Structure 1
Amino acid sequence: MEYNALFWIIIFIVTGEYLLSQYLSLCNRRAASQELPELLAGFYDKEQYARQQDYFKVNNRFGSVTSTLMWILTVILLCIGFFGWLNGKSLEITSSPVLSALVFFGIVGLGSELISLPVEWYETFVIEERFGFNRMTKCTFILDKIKSLLLTALIGGMLLGLTVYLYEIFGQMFWISACCAVMLVLTFMSLFYSQWIVPVFNKQTPLESGELRNAIEDFASEAGFQIHDIYVIDGSRRSTKANAYFSGWGATKRIVLYDTLIQDFSVHEIVAVLAHEMGHCKHNDTLKMWSLSIFNVLLLFFLFSLTIDNTYLAGALGSRESSFMLSLVAFSLLYTPVSLVTGLVINSMTRRAEYAADLYAASCGLAVPLIEGLKKISVKSLTNLTPDKRYVWFYYSHPTLLQRMANLNKRKDLL
Structure 2
Amino acid sequence: VQQLALLASFALIGGLLDLPFTLWQTFRLEERFGFNKLTWRLWLVDAAKGLLLGALIGLPILALILWLMGAAGSFWWLWAWGAWMGFNLLLMLVYPTFIAPLFNKFQPLDDPTVKARVTALMKRCGFAAKGLFVMDGSKRSAHANAYFTGFGASKRVVFYDTLLRQLNAGEVEAVLAHELGHFKHRHIVKRMVTLFALSLAGFALLGWVSDRSWFYTGLGVQPNMGAANDALVLLLFMLAVPVFGFFVTPLSARLSRQHEFEADAYAVAQTSGADLSAALLKLYNDNASTLTPDPVFVQFYYSHPPASERLARMAAA
TM tier, smaller? over 0.9
- Measured in 2, the distance between the counterparts of 1:196 and 1:342 equals 33
Counterpart of 2:156 in structure 1 is 254
Answer yes or no: is the 8 Å Cα contact 2:4–2:231 preserved in 1.
no
Aligned-residue identity in percent: 34
Counterpart of 1:189 in structure 2 is 91
Answer yes or no: is the 8 Å Cα contact 1:317–1:326 preserved in 2.
no
Which secondary structure does the structure 1 equivalent of 2:214 belong to? helix
Counterpart of 1:123 in structure 2 is 25
Answer yes or no: is the 8 Å Cα contact 1:317–1:330 preserved in 2.
no
The answer on 1:385 being equivalent to 2:287 is: no
- Measured in 2, the distance between the counterparts of 1:222 and 1:407 equals 24
TM-score by length of 2: 0.94
The answer on 1:403 being equivalent to 2:286 is: no
Counterpart of 1:326 in structure 2 is 232
Counterpart of 1:267 in structure 2 is 169
Cα-to-partner distance string for 1:182-218 (whole Å, 9 max, x where unaligned): 1112212223322222111111111115111111112
- Measured in 2, the distance between the counterparts of 1:119 and 1:367 equals 39
Counterpart of 1:345 in structure 2 is 251
Question: Which of residues 235, 241, 245 is equivalent to 1:335?
Answer: 241
Counterpart of 1:203 in structure 2 is 105
- Number of aligned residues: 313
Q: Counterpart of 2:295 in structure 1: which amino acid?
A: K
Q: Counterpart of 1:321 in structure 2: which amino acid?
A: N
The answer on 1:369 being equivalent to 2:278 is: no
Counterpart of 1:307 in structure 2 is 209
Cα-to-partner distance string for 1:269-298 (whole Å, 9 max, x where unaligned): 000000001111111111111111111110
Q: Counterpart of 1:319 in structure 2: which amino acid?
A: Q
1:139-288 matches, within 5 Å, as 139-208=41-110, 210-288=112-190
- Measured in 1, the distance between the counterparts of 2:2 and 2:291 equals 48
Answer yes or no: is the 8 Å Cα contact 1:203–1:234 preserved in 2.
yes
TM-score by length of 1: 0.72
**Gapped regions of structure 1 (runs ≥ 5):** 1-98
Counterpart of 1:31 in structure 2 is none
Q: Indicate how the Cα distance of structure 1 residues 192 and 401 shifts in structure 2: closer, same or farther if over 3 A, else same.
A: farther
- Measured in 1, the distance between the counterparts of 2:294 and 2:70 equals 48
- What is the Cα deviation at residue 267 of structure 1? 0.6
Answer yes or no: is the 8 Å Cα contact 2:177–2:271 preserved in 1.
no
Which 4+ runs in 1 deviate beyond 6 A?
A: none
Answer yes or no: is the 8 Å Cα contact 1:314–1:320 preserved in 2.
yes
- Measured in 2, the distance between the counterparts of 1:288 and 1:193 equals 20
- Measured in 2, the distance between the counterparts of 1:251 and 1:170 equals 34
- What is the Cα deviation at residue 147 of structure 1? 1.3
**Gapped regions of structure 2 (runs ≥ 5):** none
Q: Counterpart of 2:220 in structure 1: which amino acid?
A: L
Q: Indicate how the Cα distance of structure 1 residues 350 and 320 shifts in structure 2: closer, same or farther if over 3 A, else same.
A: closer
- Measured in 1, the distance between the counterparts of 2:223 and 2:206 equals 20
Q: Larger RCO: Structure 1 or Structure 2 (Cα < 8 Å, ≥ 6 residues apart)?
A: 1
Cα-to-partner distance string for 1:342-378 (whole Å, 9 max, x where unaligned): 3333222221111001000101132111111111111
- Measured in 2, the distance between the counterparts of 1:133 and 1:337 equals 32
- What is the Cα deviation at residue 108 of structure 1? 1.1
Answer yes or no: is the 8 Å Cα contact 1:313–1:326 preserved in 2.
no
- What is the Cα deviation at residue 146 of structure 1? 1.3
Which secondary structure does the structure 2 equivalent of 1:327 belong to? helix
- Measured in 2, the distance between the counterparts of 1:172 and 1:151 equals 32
Answer yes or no: is the 8 Å Cα contact 2:148–2:157 preserved in 1.
yes
- What is the Cα deviation at residue 392 of structure 1? 1.2
**Radius of gyration: which is bigger?**
1
